[in-house]
Structure 1
Amino acid sequence: MTTAVALAGCGVFGPTEPASELVVRWSENDHPELSPVGPTPPSLRTHLIDTSQKRDELLDHLPPSIPRAELSTIQRIDLGRYVIVLGSYGKCTETSHLELDDEVLTFVIERDEGVDCAVAPVQVEVWSLNREDLPTPIRFRDQRGNPA
């Protein structure tokens, strides 16, 4: 028992999945405007939202076809207690989740290596996580391992 506690403190067990909630998700199939012509706008790239200003920027740049009730759900998230992760990726058979490793929160995409999709519509997901479950300061990386 003592050994396990000591090892757990060293992080040898690898990344963990922090408690998180998928708040909403949208697909380019339902909202074609999620995939603009040209580069993806910063507000729709994978990033951490930890201030009201960042949340307002996201809400201001979402397509008008997003249901108002879903926008209200995001607006009601208490950013004093929670942070939001917006994840954006091409989805064919991929799945996503969040991992915490070495005090870095990462948005992870798992791909089925045996599947080669000709088309992968943009998937945008909004996750919430309790700040108490995360290190301070929060360091975040997108699915490519880049600070975001």
Structure 2
Amino acid sequence: RYADVLLMMAECEWALNNDAVAIDYINQVRQRPSVEMPALTWQGEDSPVNVKTHDEVFTRLRHERAVELAAEGQSFDDMKRWGLLETLNGKPEKEITGNIRYTHSVSSRDYLWPIPSGEREKNPELIQNPGWGEN
């Protein structure tokens, strides 16, 4: 989706400390003809859409991704990329009916996939990623 690409570009610019450019990408998502959201401003006058710090840009970016990509399966990978998986620990996920479907249980090992045993058999020099068992 184009909105996802724009928000990925915003994240890249944010990571490079180009906050004004990141906000421009976020605004491209917010100002599509079918959406009509007010544009964010960078370090302007006090208003609900004014963003003043690097951390606030990240907060706005997280919010835009959550709203724009809701129910598209992006959130877990976003949290992993941002190093925030542990904040999900113990959080219940509900079905549309309101019933709890599962409760998150994550740890530091969840940032990396395990190396398949077949690959480790082919190359005994490979060391298993932390938290996934014996070397």
Q: TM-score, normalised by structure 2?
A: 0.31
Higher strand content, 1 or 2: 1
Higher relative contact order (CA 8 A, sep 6+): 1
Higher helix content, 1 or 2: 2
